Amino acid sequence: MPSAKKSANSLIKLVQVPSWNDPRGNLFVFEKDLPPFEIKRVYYLTNTVENFSRGFHAHRDLQQIAVAVNGRCRMVLDDGTKREDVWLDSPSKAIYIDSMMWREMHDFSADCVLLVLASAEYDESDYIRNYDDFIAAAKG
């Protein structure tokens, strides 16, 4: 995965989104090997309710890239043994979320627009929505 930064024991895989900036504004691009999968679905969250968190699930197979194209939010990742968080607070900073990773999104700013690129179309059977079921599957 190009431009990914991850410390040796970290769950967080930050991705630097290539950008071009000039007096007209900023252009951010996902192409070639970024993301490290074929994009099958794109969605975004906006107008999130203040003090309301989202996510609270994992995917068996799905991979994702998430980026706050505006505003900020705090992303929490959990692999069943370790839990870490990171602020998504710049359109040049994305996070790669691998399969079998519990994710939660908290502390959305009022102007947050969270864009997500996904490796597959929506499939309810790929979701693990109960944390105890996730822990059992992660240890499995």
**Cα–Cα dist 69/52, whole Å:** 19
Known active-site residue 59? no
Residue labelled with tokens 């070639």: 32
What burial letters (b/e) apply to 47-79, b meaning 16+ CB within 10 Å? ebeeeeeebeebbeebbbbbbbbebbbbbbbbe
Identify the active-site residue in 54, 57, 74, 106: 57
List the catalytic residues: 57
